[in-house]
Amino acid sequence: MHPHIEDYAVIGDEQTAALVGADGSIDWLCLPRFDSAACFAALLGDQDNGQWRIAPKGVEGPCTRRAYRRDTLVLDTEWETGEGAVRVTDLMPQRDRAPDVVRIVEGLSGRVTVRSTLRLRFDYGSIVPWVRKSHGHRVAVAGPDSVWLRSEPQVHTWGEDFGTHSEFTVEAGEKVAFVLTWHPSHEPRPALLDPYKALHSSVRDWHKWVEHCHYDGPYRDEVIRSLITLKALTYRPTGGIVAAPTTSLPEELGGVRNWDYRYCWLRDSTLTLNVGLSAGYRKEAEAWRDWLLRAVAGDPAELQIMYGLGGERRLPESELPWLSGYADSRPVRVGNDAVGQLQLDVYGEVMDSLALAREAGLPTKPHMWAIQSALVDWLRREWRQPDEGLWEVRGGRRHFVHSKVMVWVAADRAVRTLEHNPELEGDLEGWRELREEVHREVCEKGYDAERNTFTQSYGSRELDAALLLIPRVGFLPPDDPRVVGTIDAVRAELDHHGFLRRYGTDGSDGTDVDGLPGDEGAFLACSFWLAEALHLTGRTREAAELFDRLVGLANDVGLLAEEYDPVEGRQLGNFPQAFSHIGLVNTAFALFGTDGAG
């Protein structure tokens, strides 16, 4: 039986991340990057696919308690046993050259025997490395990967059943630190890390970073935890932010809706920038803006919906048949074929992001406006095409209303930028005509007057939670009766036990929009959008109540997955999910903040 998704916590070094279970087992870790092959893949298989568990000997279940140290990404996990109490502190310090996992065992009371079991499996659990001893260390090598394990002080370690085992006792105040270090196998071993100095500097650095946060309203701890999580999902060398550090955690247990989220989506760009600017993290916002500019540079016709951590374009999708999948949810996928889809909304999201960056006073780049102009000019020619839409459906292209609304956003931001910056060159009148034409068509073809709601696509009766963004992006004002009607319709028809689905999967209008079997849970980002939409339309009390229930879905250490199953009371989908935490922070600023950026 796999632990529940919410039984995990995350640690990371802003280049990769590990999932640590409540039982003390690291069940997922990709080295050296978020999108590298996993060396611990028990999350998507079993213990023989790689894990590292440290816990009191003979204790198989979850810990007694765990928590992050306040305002950090340093995790403390504690067990109380009949022999005494022990704590394991987990962290991944900011790397110099090589990634390290530090696990410090500390006796709290009594005398506790602790067991460490390390099963390294490279290439997503498929390769058992050759392990040898070297100067008191254990060295595991297979192909391009090399991992070193050491302890301070040294404890008895032995090999058994293709694993590396250690057993030792700690009394109150005694500590044993383990350090696991990865490096390319053709390079010499990196310099040794002092685990205790690393712990001290990590706590200090996180506290200094959190001091920059502008938010001081209700739910501060939840907002800070979300901001720290987003920071942890940032690939520091480039500024890109991954949607999640995992792949193939299912949107339905036992189902096939299992995708690789270890990439950077343009759909997140405006909302991510808004988080950084609103919360006071201009450096991170500028790094994300710069990543965006590098990624989208080139022929506008070749704009992708997502890119790799450095802006890579090729993300071929394949399956890993040797992994049984989380809770038997197959297939396990790496890469993402949605990279080749046409999603017109991303043009609007890029234009909105760059307009927001300009308005917020981020330093402009010489080529930024040239890229924006090329994007809008391409849209003028191509916007009438159907596309796969925001949700990357695999059931065929349609004229999705949200996609057309975001085309309007692209034209609108271009017009506004020219109006406020007359020194820039551009076809102001042509872009105004584009903006008016798109607006007129959406209101004619994407609106159901009988039901007083916009629809998911032209001619459809289906609804889509993305329609909640219509007032946020300025397509229509919040008090427009069509906006209020749409919010009410979406709330009623996509309700899932008080939360919100992103769209219907039952094909109630006789169509199969996403081309996939099965169902999914409530989509947390959409539920946050509903709270913000309610607030914009004057229903702030209802918005605050919904926000409170959404925040309550976070696990014991404040983390959210992509979706939630309100029937089973379980989190679903990749974890932790940037989109969900972005939704939490932006909604908190909308409800309780005073100086939002956009």
* Token pair listed for 37: 């092959």
Q: Please check the confidence at residue 597 and state whether its pLDDT lies above 50.
A: no
Ranges of beta strands (E only) in 120-242 are 130-134, 137-142, 145-152, 157-160, 163-171, 175-184, 234-235, 240-241
Mean local confidence (pLDDT), 57-73? 96
Tell me how crowded residue 171 is: count the other CB atoms within 10 A of its CB. 13
First to last CA, the chain: 45
Mean local confidence (pLDDT), 235-257? 96
Is the model more confident about 26 or about 395?
Answer: 26
Out of 299-303, 390-394, 511-515, 519-523, pick the least confident: 511-515
Q: Please check the confidence at residue 596 and state whether its pLDDT lies above 60.
A: no
Percentage of residues of the chain with pLDDT beyond 90: 92
Record the pTM: 0.96
User: At a CB cut-off of 8 Å and minimum separation 6, what does 41 contact?
Assistant: 27, 28, 49, 50, 121, 124, 125, 323
Q: Which of 438, 444, 338 is nearest to 384 (CA)?
A: 438
Residue extents of the structural domains in the chain: 5-204, 212-592
Say if CB 66 and CB 87 are below 8 A apart: no
Say if CB 255 and CB 51 are below 8 A apart: no
Q: Please check the confidence at residue 509 and state whether its pLDDT lies above 60.
A: no
Q: Please check the confidence at residue 357 and state whether its pLDDT lies above 50.
A: yes
CATH 1.10.645.10 fits 212-592, yes or no: no
Q: Which residue matches tokens 């329609």?
A: 467
Name the fold adopted by 5-204.
Answer: Beta-galactosidase; Chain A, domain 5 (2.70.98)
Out of 225-234, 268-277, 506-515, pick the least confident: 506-515
How far is Cα 217 from Cα 566, in angstroms, rounded to an integer? 28
Mean local confidence (pLDDT), 88-102? 96
DSSP-assigned beta bridge partners for residue 241: 234
Res 514: pLDDT: 67
Q: Please check the confidence at residue 594 and state whether its pLDDT lies above 50.
A: yes
How far is Cα 106 from Cα 178, in angstroms, rounded to an integer? 11
What's the one-letter identity of residue 446? G
| DSSP annotation string for 170-205 | EEBT-EEEEEEEEEETTSPPPPPP-HHHHHHHHHHH
Res 73: pLDDT: 98
How far is Cα 186 from Cα 335, in angstroms, rounded to an integer? 26
Tell me how crowded residue 65 is: count the other CB atoms within 10 A of its CB. 13
Say if CB 389 and CB 403 are below 8 A apart: yes
Res 507: pLDDT: 55
Predicted confidence (pLDDT) per residue in 377-436, tens digit: 999 999 999 999 999 887 889 999 999 999 999 999 999 999 999 999 999 999 999 999
Tell me how crowded residue 316 is: count the other CB atoms within 10 A of its CB. 10
How far is Cα 98 from Cα 334, in angstroms, rounded to an integer? 24
Mean local confidence (pLDDT), 265-271? 88
How far is Cα 539 from Cα 469, in angstroms, rounded to an integer? 16
Average pLDDT, the chain: 95
Q: Count CA atoms within 13 Å of residue 400 on its CB side.
A: 26
Res 506: pLDDT: 64
Q: CA angle, corner 7, sides to 308 and 27, nearest 5?
A: 55
Is the model more confident about 516 or about 268?
Answer: 268
How far is Cα 364 from Cα 299, in angstroms, rounded to an integer? 21
Res 598: pLDDT: 33
Res 136: pLDDT: 82
Predicted confidence (pLDDT) per residue in 79-89, tens digit: 999 999 999 99
Res 504: pLDDT: 85
Mean local confidence (pLDDT), 138-166? 95
**Cβ-defined contacts of 392-396 (< 8 Å, 24+):** 392/305, 392/338, 392/341, 392/343, 393/513, 393/514, 393/515, 394/338, 394/514, 394/515, 394/516, 395/511, 395/512, 395/513, 395/514, 395/515, 395/516, 396/515
The dihedral through the CA atoms of 18, 1, 177, 130 has a sign that is negative
Predicted confidence (pLDDT) per residue in 531-570, tens digit: 999 999 999 999 999 999 999 999 999 999 999 999 999 9
Q: CA angle, corner 244, sides to 248 and 54, nearest 5?
A: 80
* Token pair listed for 403: 């996609």
Q: Which residue matches tokens 């712990």?
A: 199
CA 275 to chain CA mean position, Å: 14
Q: What is the CA radius of gyration of the chain?
A: 25
Predicted confidence (pLDDT) per residue in 447-490, tens digit: 999 999 999 999 999 999 999 999 999 999 999 999 999 999 99
Predicted confidence (pLDDT) per residue in 124-148, tens digit: 999 999 999 988 899 999 999 999 9
Predicted confidence (pLDDT) per residue in 295-353, tens digit: 999 899 999 999 999 999 999 999 999 999 999 999 999 999 999 999 999 999 999 99
What's the one-letter identity of residue 442? V
Q: At what angle do helices 368-382 and 428-445 cross, to 10 degrees?
A: 50
Out of 4-18, 431-445, 501-515, pick the least confident: 501-515
